[in-house]
Amino acid sequence: MNTAFLDFFIDPVLRAPTIGSMLMCLAASFVGVLAFVRRRSLLGEALSHCAYPGVVISALITPLFFSASEEALALAVLIGAFCSGVIGLWVIDKLEHRFRVSDDAALCFVLAIFFGVGVLVASRIQITHALIYRKIQVFIYGQAATMTDSHVYMYSGLVLLSATILFCFYREIQVSFFDRQFAKSIGIRTRLVDRVLFFLLVLAIVIGIRSVGVVLMAGMLISPAVAARQFTHSLKWMFCIAGLVGAVSGFLGNFFSIALPEWGKKAGFDWDFILPTGPMILLSSVTICFFALFFAPDRGLLSRFCRIVKFRDRCILENVLKSMWRKGEGAKVSFKEFASWASYSQFFTFFLLLRLRRQGWMEKKQNLFCLTSDGRLRAAHIVRLHRLWEVYLVHMGQKAEKVHRSAEEMEHIITPELEKELTDLLKDPRQDPHHQPIPRKEV
Amino acid sequence: MNLNPYWGAGFFHVLALFFKRLFLFLTGQLSWQQMASDEVQIFVLVLLSFASALIGTFLVLKRMTMLANSLSHTILLGIVIAYVVLLPFSQENPSHGLSIEVLLIASLITGVITTVLTQLMTHLMKLQEDASIGLIFTSLFALGIIAVTVFTRNAHIGIEAIMGNIDALHFNDLKIMGLIGAVDFVVIMLFFKEFKIVSFDSGLARSCGYPIQFFNYLLMVLTSATAIGAFRAVGVLLFLAFLVGLPLTARLLTQRLHKMILLAFVIGTVCSIVAVALSRHLLSIYKMPLSTSGLVVTLIGCTYFLACLFSPHRGILKRRS
């Protein structure tokens, strides 16, 4: 069997699981953004476990009243999961506020106890209703493969519902997240907004546990939000990116769970199985998330690291210029002398000098190095910033003998705007606190 | 194969029989090899509540329970890694349960990897702490499930890991649990003062020069060792309920650290004995086999609720009156 991308949307067996997981991941990532911004990411972990006893109990009760048709059972399970999720939420809230349990302990306790109750009831069902028991176990690790078209209709309805609520309350949510006091003052009922948020959270979990399972639901809420945060500062775009990441990973999870064993078989392994979909969805989403954490343009680890290296490098260059400037106008230094007072290796010094000459700040005359006029201007500017900062610190009440160290750092950081502010504030001083002249600002 | 003496016994009958046989065991009139499966269950659960009273108290005080939660998930990956590393060296069939060295390696790997990765995410990637916990443990757990699927060609093996299979407990499990309990006890007693100061006032601890990070890692390694001991015996879920539920219940009843640990242990012991007796009672009188792990967790939840009602300093009944 060779599965192409498009088959996942057309093939009657693959279509329902793929679209179902994509919808569910979409809902989860929308709500995950809310939880992430509210700094309650692990609430999802607790609530997904809380939903389990609801699933089990409703599966036990439903056949007593209704005919045990597939659709009725699926709907009952959703309602049960929702109810026990809400109860779990209430208990967590009580524990935290009434009994002063720290939030992590409250979450952990509630998830363990609720899940335990679920296990207890499930062990009863295991004997009495073996068929239903097998259907319920699906919820622990999730199983997208057995989804049918009716599931997809139900889930798309729920996703539409949560998206609509989110859209209607968008302004209120946004304002009350970023400034609670302000939101209260303009008449937004922040407690109501919180309730809506928690309602959405439980809803997303109820939708999600069918395909990724109780245990992995937390990761599905968090990872798209984290990935989206790396790329943008705006809440609106965060929703869009997180939704995209979620939907894509929902598809990729289904794709790889079938494609990976096939590739393994082609490579000669004895892989005659289908990988579980839930973990694959989560792993795809986490992979995207890690990619974003490392390589995002502004906040990524790589670009932050590059910025640090660049800044250090600039500091070194500027320090060299400064010390050449101090030698006086027209001072000439041989390579050996240079290497001895800059405490770097010969190799590094060679490159340093090469780069300084490339920049046009230094020149080489008969094996001796000296500053060009450009270099002198640049160095004078740094010294000016250094001494300006010293004057400013003394102006602010610091002792003159203590200001040098701070100025050593600030001279590399001060921007032209700040320099202008300082000059205006200090009325363009001529001397620093150590009675050294401050170089004039060149035009 | 001798018949289980508890067969067909009711609740109080089980209790009476248990204490009578316990006396016989202690005085040497019955050899330890003759232990019935109900007794093995009780002893394992009591040892587990001992270990988790010791560790869990500090975890709750240090607000590290969510890290313990993530450890209880990631040990799945730790065990798989330990098997893959050790398989070439061991002669025995890996399906025969865990040998001690596998346990040790798995718990070390898991404890350190999970904690290091989570801290890396928080410090290096500048992520919120709870988000990094959630991200790391779910992805490691997913990797664990995939690895188990690839190695065993069965996608449903992990369910037992969560639920545990308390009815299949063996005398060897008791030995492992006893060993882990002893290790926990020795380590906590050795560093009791240090753990106390680190969990109550980490600022003071730092200024006194205690290596805070070292104690965090030590606690995490102990936790994962206990989790792995509990993993096969009772499932990670029950372990979590013990680890968090017992100290929280004890916390409602007392304000002192020594008493809190002791009380947590006592509550755990009572819950375990009652749960095993209750499940035997239900089986013999009503012919209703229930999961003992589920029963213990539910009992712990009920005990917490009772403690909420009657707690001396913040109980519900106290304030109203």
**CATH code at A124?**
1.10.3470.10
Of the pLDDT bands very low, low, confident and very high (cuts 50, 70, 90), residue A311 is very high
- Which residues lie across from A437 on neighbouring strands? A431
CB contact under 8 A, B297 and A115: yes
CB contact under 8 A, B248 and A276: no
State the Cα angle at B106 between B100 and B111, rounded to 5°.
130
Predicted local distance difference test score (pLDDT) of residue B92 = 53
Per the prediction, chain B carries an average pLDDT of 83
Mean pLDDT for the stretch of residues B4-16: 80
Per-residue tokens: A218: 């937390």
Predicted local distance difference test score (pLDDT) of residue A289 = 94
For residues A179 and A197, membership in a common domain is answered with yes
In the stretch 52-91 of chain A, residues with CB closer than 8 A to chain B read none
Predicted local distance difference test score (pLDDT) of residue B268 = 94
Residue B162 has pLDDT above 80, yes or no: no
Mean pLDDT for the stretch of residues A281-306: 92
For residues A146 and A70, membership in a common domain is answered with yes
Question: What is the distance between the alpha carbons of residues A81 and A203, in angstroms, rounded to a whole number?
Answer: 9
User: Which of A238, A270, A298 lies at the terminal end of a domain, its last residue?
Assistant: A298
Residue B75 has pLDDT above 80, yes or no: yes
The residue among A292 and B39 whose pLDDT is bigger is A292
Give the end-to-end CA distance of chain A in Å, rounded to a whole number.
74
Q: What are the CA-CA distances from residue A422 to residues A394, B3, B239, B261, B291 (Å)?
A: 13, 92, 62, 61, 74
Please state whether A369 falls in left (phi above 0), alpha (psi between -120 and 50) or beta: beta
Identify residue B263 by its one-letter amino acid code.
L
Q: Name the closest residue on chain B to residue A287, using Cα atoms.
A: B139
- Give the one of B63, B146, B237 whose C-beta lies nearest to A104's C-beta: B63
User: Which of A298, A331, A346 lies at the terminal end of a domain, its last residue?
Assistant: A298
Question: What is the distance between the alpha carbons of residues B24 and A325, in angstroms, rounded to a whole number?
Answer: 93
User: Which of A265, A298, A331 lies at the terminal end of a domain, its last residue?
Assistant: A298
Count of domains for chain A: 2
Q: What is the CA radius of gyration of chain A?
A: 32
Residue A2 lies in a domain: no
* CB atoms near residue A409 (< 10 Å): 11
Predicted local distance difference test score (pLDDT) of residue A84 = 94
DSSP B33: G
Residue A213 lies in a domain: yes
For residues A138 and A185, membership in a common domain is answered with yes
Mean pLDDT for the stretch of residues B109-136: 89
Mean pLDDT for the stretch of residues A141-161: 82
- Give the one of A39, A101, A289 whose C-beta lies nearest to B248's C-beta: A101
For residues A264 and A311, membership in a common domain is answered with no
Predicted local distance difference test score (pLDDT) of residue A1 = 46
Q: Which domains does chain B have, with CATH numbers?
A: 11-313 (1.10.3470.10)
For residues A58 and A196, membership in a common domain is answered with yes
Per-residue tokens: A381: 């500017």
> Rounded to two decimals, what is the model's pTM?
0.84
The label of the residue with tokens 């239900």 reads B282
Q: Which of B146, B121, B139, B116 is nearest to B131 (CA)?
A: B121
Q: Quick check: A387 and A436 in contact, CB under 8 A? A: yes
Residue B26 has pLDDT above 90, yes or no: no
Identify residue B55 by its one-letter amino acid code.
I
Predicted local distance difference test score (pLDDT) of residue B1 = 40
Lowest mean pLDDT among A111-125, A301-315, B85-99: B85-99
Residue B28 has pLDDT above 60, yes or no: yes
Predicted local distance difference test score (pLDDT) of residue B149 = 78
Q: Where are the alpha helices (DSSP H) in B29-128?
A: 37-61, 65-86, 100-123
Question: What is the distance between the alpha carbons of residues B205 and B201, in angstroms, rounded to a whole number?
Answer: 6
Characterize the bridge pairing of strands A333-334 and A362-365. unpaired
Of the pLDDT bands very low, low, confident and very high (cuts 50, 70, 90), residue B261 is very high
Per-residue tokens: A213: 């399972």
DSSP A430: S
Mean pLDDT for the stretch of residues A30-41: 90
Q: Name the closest residue on chain A to residue B236, using Cα atoms.
A: A112
Question: What is the distance between the alpha carbons of residues A260 and B146, in angstroms, rounded to a whole number?
Answer: 11
In the stretch 22-51 of chain A, residues with CB closer than 8 A to chain B read 36, 39-42, 44-45
Residue A328 has pLDDT above 80, yes or no: no
For residues A201 and A341, membership in a common domain is answered with no
Helix (H) or strand (E) holding A393: helix A373-395
Q: Quick check: B73 and B227 in contact, CB under 8 A? A: no
For residues A85 and A155, membership in a common domain is answered with yes
* Most confident listed range (A281-295, A402-416, B139-153): A281-295
Mean pLDDT for the stretch of residues A229-258: 91
Q: What is the CA radius of gyration of chain B?
A: 20
Predicted local distance difference test score (pLDDT) of residue B155 = 46
For residues A341 and A238, membership in a common domain is answered with no
Q: Quick check: A120 and B294 in contact, CB under 8 A? A: yes
- Which residues lie across from A363 on neighbouring strands? A370
Question: What is the distance between the alpha carbons of residues A24 and A18, in angstroms, rounded to a whole number?
Answer: 10
Q: Quick check: A226 and B127 in contact, CB under 8 A? A: yes
Predicted local distance difference test score (pLDDT) of residue A244 = 94
**CATH code of residue A417:** 1.10.10.10
Measured in degrees and rounded to the nearest 5, phi and psi for residue B64 equal -115, 20
For residues A336 and A379, membership in a common domain is answered with yes
Residue B303 has pLDDT above 90, yes or no: yes
For residues A343 and A357, membership in a common domain is answered with yes
Predicted local distance difference test score (pLDDT) of residue B153 = 61
Which domain covers residue A358, as residue numbers? 300-443
Per the prediction, chain A carries an average pLDDT of 86
Lowest mean pLDDT among A303-307, B29-33, B293-297: B29-33
Predicted local distance difference test score (pLDDT) of residue B163 = 57
For residues A332 and A441, membership in a common domain is answered with yes
Residue A338 has pLDDT above 50, yes or no: yes
